[in-house]
């Protein structure tokens, strides 16, 4: 108070404590709480960005970043010249698009079917069962699938032979079958988690709309078609557009735990290709160039998807 009186007597405006300082005085414990996570994010997500310089060098670990020869865009040219790398990009697009399309359609259908179950106990039990695989890692599920789909003694092949007299199928050794296994197993693992969003959207439907439709003589199918689906449409558009950013993410964990050299031609994706190039072949510069290419394209797609989500569904984060 005395400082304000002295300032007024001297003809100077009194000093005011900034709102930022006042806010920090009240919320500093929260900032301290978030500090460890912030430091970890800086160390593991931002500091490694410096390593992208390897994409423009003929990097040698014993020479380091500053003494390795600068080659410019050489590795990016090689990315599109090698038949193997081009095939990897196509594999990634095919597998990722199939996962996105099927992963969007299956949860919607299952949510609509589960919504028709009237007994709460049965409904919750089914929801728990289909949601459970989401919490299992691909290390565990990969081992289970390898045993189930084995040519010799695998449960699936034994059933095919006993029930239909079919010959054993090499699911994890044939490229086409491998893609099928990858897409189906990914849907089985994740559709229960994705279904929760649509069940929440269905729960938000005004019951009076169903009552009005029933009065007009609409069957359950007609109510679903003209009431439930239109109400779910905004969230479907949001999920579909946001999935656009995952076009180049075919699932490293899953494919790494399932694939083998027999299916490289149709099952190898960008992430596994980068891993083999860097960790097994020691070609760090080329692997970094491939990873940077994927990251830039994914970033552009994410920006486009968020703009589309805002335009068509009025969805925005900020």
Q: Residue 42: its pLDDT value, please?
A: 93
Q: Residue 13: its pLDDT value, please?
A: 53
Q: 69 has which bridge partners?
A: 58
d(CA 105, CA 114): 14
Tokens read off for 245: 């950013």
Q: Residue 287: its pLDDT value, please?
A: 87
Q: Residue 186: its pLDDT value, please?
A: 92
pLDDT in tens, the chain (318 residues): 544 445 455 555 555 556 777 777 788 888 889 899 999 999 998 888 888 888 888 888 888 888 888 888 888 888 888 778 888 889 988 998 899 888 889 999 998 888 888 888 888 888 888 888 888 899 999 889 989 888 887 888 888 888 887 788 888 888 889 999 999 999 999 888 888 888 888 888 888 888 888 888 888 888 888 888 888 888 888 888 878 777 788 888 899 998 888 888 888 888 888 888 888 888 888 888 888 888 888 888 888 888 877 777 676 665
DSSP 218: -
In the three-class reduction of DSSP (H, G, I as helix; E, B as strand; rest coil), residue 10 is classed as: coil
- Who's near 30: CB < 8 A, 6+ residues apart? none
Neighbouring CB atoms inside 10 A of 93's CB total 15
Residue 128 half-sphere exposure, CB side, CA atoms within 13 Å? 6
Neighbouring CB atoms inside 10 A of 181's CB total 21
Q: DSSP string spanning 100-156?
A: HHHHHHHHHHHHHHHHT---HHHHHHHHHHHHGGGGS-HHHHHHHHHHHT-TTT-HH
In the chain, what are the domains? 25-72 (no CATH), 82-313 (1.10.3720.10)
> What is the widest separation between alpha-carbon atoms in the chain?
102
- Give residue for tokens 């692997």: 287
Rg (CA), the chain: 27
Query: 176, 184 in Cβ contact below 8 A?
Result: no
d(CA 131, CA 151): 29
* Helices and strands, number each (H, E), in the chain: 15, 2
């Amino acid at each position: 108070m005395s400082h304000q009186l002295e300032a007024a007597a001297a003809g100077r405006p009194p000093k005011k404590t900034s709102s930022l300082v006042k806010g920090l005085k009240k919320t500093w414990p929260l900032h301290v709480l978030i500090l460890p996570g912030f430091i970890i994010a800086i160390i593991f997500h931002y500091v490694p960005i410096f390593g992208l310089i390897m994409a423009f060098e003929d990097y040698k670990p014993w020479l380091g970043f500053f003494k390795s020869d600068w080659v410019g865009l050489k590795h990016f040219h090689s990315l599109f010249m090698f038949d193997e790398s081009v095939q990897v990009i196509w594999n990634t697009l095919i597998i990722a698009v199939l996962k996105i399309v099927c992963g969007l359609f299956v949860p919607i259908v299952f949510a609509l079917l589960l919504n028709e179950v009237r007994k709460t106990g049965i409904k919750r039990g089914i929801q728990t069962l289909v949601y459970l695989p989401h919490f299992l890692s691909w290390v565990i599920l990969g081992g289970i699938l390898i045993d189930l789909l084995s040519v010799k003694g695998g449960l699936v092949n034994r059933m095919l032979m006993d029930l239909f007299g079919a010959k054993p199928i090499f699911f994890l050794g044939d490229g086409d079958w491998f893609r099928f296994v990858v897409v189906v197993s990914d849907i089985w693992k994740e559709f229960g988690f994705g279904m929760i969003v649509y069940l929440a959207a269905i729960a938000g439907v005004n019951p009076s709309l169903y009552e009005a439709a029933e009065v007009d003589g609409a069957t359950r199918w007609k109510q679903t078609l003209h009431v439930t689906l239109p109400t779910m449409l905004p969230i479907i558009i949001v999920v579909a557009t946001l999935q656009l950013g995952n076009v180049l993410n075919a699932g490293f964990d899953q494919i790494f735990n399932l694939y083998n050299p027999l299916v490289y031609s149709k099952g190898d994706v960008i992430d596994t290709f980068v891993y083999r190039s860097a960790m097994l072949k020691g070609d760090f510069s080329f692997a970094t160039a491939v990873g940077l290419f994927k990251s830039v394209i994914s970033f552009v797609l994410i920006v486009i998807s968020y703009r589309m989500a805002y335009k068509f569904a009025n969805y925005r984060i900020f």
